[in-house]
Structure 1
Amino acid sequence: MLDLAIVGGGPAGLTAGLYATRGGLKNVVMYEQGMPGGAITQSSEVENYPGVCEVVTGMELMECWPKQAMRFGLKHEMEKVERIKRNEDGTFTLELASGKTEQAKAVIVATGSTPKRAGFEGEEEFIGKGVSTCATCDGFFYKGKEVAVVGGGDTALEEALYLANIVEKVYLIHRRDKFRAAPSTVERVMNNPKIELILNAKVKKVYGDQSGVQGVIIDQEGKEIDLKVPGVFVFVGMNVNNEVLKQEDGSFLCDVNEWGEVKVDLKMRTSVPGLYAAGDVREDAAKQVVCAAGDGAAAAIDVISYIEKMGE
């Protein structure tokens, strides 16, 4: 039986593996189908990770993390975990896509979340090259320039306000004439002189060249608008990667909120003893590499105490 199974190989999972093995756990496996690193590996520029002075790509940032984590005994299995179940004795069964099962005393779920796509032409082509889903990550690169934000919920409006502190102008594009965000947030957006609303409109395409985005074509009630902007930020929701927690009857193994995000305490403990969630899969996650890494460390440190108490 494993001491600890970690599901997901991004910053949270890798850091959890590093802290768990360095902290003394001997049998720790991280399940990640592909190469470890997580969604940040798709980012073209990272300049806000503490201690990394040069601007690097996401791939460069994550390059040595697996090697460092595995130095202390973390094992990487390129397997997909289909489902996690809790056994009567308080341990866990992991059902793998290969048909095999694995037993573990504790589990850290670090499967992350995936930004929803708006579905316009050029969106996939220019992800990381002018199309972004993270204003905190990429907003600074457009300092003094104009950008477009797509969406009408709380996240879209909050990120538009964040960007307005950095860029010259924000075009907020929404397919309806009313927002789904909190009234106080809507009021702040309406009163911000750097934010221009483009309502009842949808993005048809983003265009550019090898250097990146050059503009966006918008359809507003039959009228075509060509915005010459180098950056387009898409905030149309997130898909939480919580499938491993779903049971046969459709319920979740632990408590989740209305968006499917896992509820945790400050030690990343879920409502089920021995089950932890770290990184973007948990509620109120900041969606930042440094925060995900902190979650992984916090979870692993508590797992060590949890397993020690199991042996008493």
Structure 2
Amino acid sequence: MDKIYDCIIIGSGPAGYSSSIYIARADLNHILYTGNKPGGQLIETNEIENYPGFPKGIKGYILMKKLQKQAERFGSKIKFNSVKDINFYKNKKHEIILDNNEKLKTKTIIIATGASPKYLDIDNEKSLIGHGISTCATCDGFFYKKKNVAIIGGGDKALEEAIYLSKICNNIYIIIRKNKIKASKILENKILHINNIKLLFNNEVKKIIGLKTLEYLLCKNNISNEEKKINVKAMFLAIGNKPNTNLVKKKLYLDYNGYIITKKGSTKTNIPGVFAAGDVQDPIYRQAITSAGTGCMAAIDVEKYLTLF
């Protein structure tokens, strides 16, 4: 008879590791599959200063290594494979298929595959992540205190981050590809009354200059074709995130933007025994601490579900 696991966790960010810690402490037979990016987005974050318990801050990859070791301490099995497909069965045992074509059966699954920020896809962008380029002003803004920074985007996130940065940075340049802001009116009104926020409409970043750290941006006006050098020490991308839900498309209920829909006040999806935690189901907060919290919730939901299995 094939071995049947109590739970399989897919994803190794704060949500995945948090759920594995709780699942292990509940003495449930489980495995966590890291996917092709062990540690998730946080391994690309140079310094984290807003995660509780680290008064001097901590590097992203170190935090994720600590979470992994903590899970292993309680008996979690961590495997560095990717899940390439899932077969969900209502009121039955689910099946996952790994990248090596191995098939495993499990009573429950926690989807914690996270989300990926959208990038401009221009030269030098990826190489300077953590060295002047960031996707989270709340996480990294403090490191550019009293310096000039740029934000790419014209939606709510871009304006919210600009307001946050205006309190700690010198000048904030919001670079907007179109000729208008697409954020809510209340946010637009707020930034128009903040003196150190500068709006650059009809502009796109064409070049990112810098070897080890960001030195400046070269922008081009879409109407006049005029090129302009913007001297900034950081560029914050606020052009959206894409949830990593290719694995469950047409299998789980997703919202308009592709995030997994969970039942209010829980991590339950539309399929019994399948739960979602972290950024893959959170288009709003997207913080390490909130991901860890929903990872805990998913583990507790799993434990409750198994008592009725």
* Shorter-chain TM band: over 0.9
Q: What is the distance in 1 between the residues matched to 2:303 and 2:150? A: 46
- Structure 1 pair 232–260 and aligned structure 2 pair: CA distance change class (3 A): same
Q: TM-score, normalised by structure 1?
A: 0.92
Q: What is the distance in 2 between the residues matched to 1:123 and 1:97? A: 29
Determine which of 132, 139, 142 is the counterpart of 1:140.
142
Q: What is the distance in 2 between the residues matched to 1:38 and 1:92? A: 24
The CA deviation string for residues 208-260 of structure 1, in whole angstroms up to 9 with x for no partner, is 232x11211111232121111101111112121001112xxxx2x22211100
**Partner in structure 2 of residue 303 of structure 1:** 302
Q: 1:78 is matched by which residue type in structure 2?
A: F
**1:63 alignment partner, SS class:** helix
The CA deviation string for residues 121-155 of structure 1, in whole angstroms up to 9 with x for no partner, is 32112111001100110011122221100112222
Map 1:244-263 → 2, pairs under 5 A: 244-246=247-249, 251=250, 253-263=251-261
**Partner in structure 2 of residue 213 of structure 1:** 214
Q: What is the distance in 2 between the residues matched to 1:282 and 1:181? A: 22
**Partner in structure 1 of residue 152 of structure 2:** 150
Are 2:36 and 2:82, in contact at CA under 8 Å, matched by a contact in 1? no
Determine which of 23, 31, 34 is the counterpart of 2:26.
23
Q: What is the distance in 2 between the residues matched to 1:84 and 1:191? A: 51
Q: 2:173 is matched by which residue type in structure 1?
A: Y
Q: 1:137 is matched by which residue type in structure 2?
A: C
Q: 2:30 is matched by which residue type in structure 1?
A: V
Q: What is the distance in 2 between the residues matched to 1:14 and 1:172? A: 36
Do residues 89 (structure 1) and 87 (structure 2) align?
A: no
Are 1:257 and 1:283, in contact at CA under 8 Å, matched by a contact in 2? no
The CA deviation string for residues 165-187 of structure 1, in whole angstroms up to 9 with x for no partner, is 22122100011101222233223
Determine which of 182, 186, 189 is the counterpart of 1:187.
189
Q: May I ask how many residue pairs the two structures share in their alignment?
A: 303
Q: 1:305 is matched by which residue type in structure 2?
A: K
Q: CA RMSD in A?
A: 1.6
Do residues 9 (structure 1) and 12 (structure 2) align?
A: yes
Determine which of 102, 113, 118 is the counterpart of 1:116.
118
Q: 1:176 is matched by which residue type in structure 2?
A: K
**Partner in structure 2 of residue 287 of structure 1:** 286
Do residues 46 (structure 1) and 48 (structure 2) align?
A: yes
Q: What is the distance in 2 between the residues matched to 1:35 and 1:155? A: 25
**2:121 alignment partner, SS class:** coil
- Structure 1 pair 213–260 and aligned structure 2 pair: CA distance change class (3 A): same
Are 2:154 and 2:176, in contact at CA under 8 Å, matched by a contact in 1? yes
**2:235 alignment partner, SS class:** strand
- Structure 1 pair 59–302 and aligned structure 2 pair: CA distance change class (3 A): same
Map 1:160-171 → 2, pairs under 5 A: 160-171=162-173
Q: 2:299 is matched by which residue type in structure 1?
A: A
* Unaligned runs of at least 5 residues, structure 2: none
The CA deviation string for residues 257-307 of structure 1, in whole angstroms up to 9 with x for no partner, is 110011223321122221111111013442211111111111101211110
Are 2:266 and 2:298, in contact at CA under 8 Å, matched by a contact in 1? yes
Q: 1:304 is matched by which residue type in structure 2?
A: E
Do residues 226 (structure 1) and 216 (structure 2) align?
A: no
Q: Percent identity?
A: 36
List, as ranges, runs of 4+ consecutive aligned residues in structure 1 with deviation greater than 6 Å: none
Are 2:38 and 2:80, in contact at CA under 8 Å, matched by a contact in 1? no
- Structure 1 pair 97–34 and aligned structure 2 pair: CA distance change class (3 A): closer
Map 1:259-270 → 2, pairs under 5 A: 259-264=257-262, 265-270=264-269
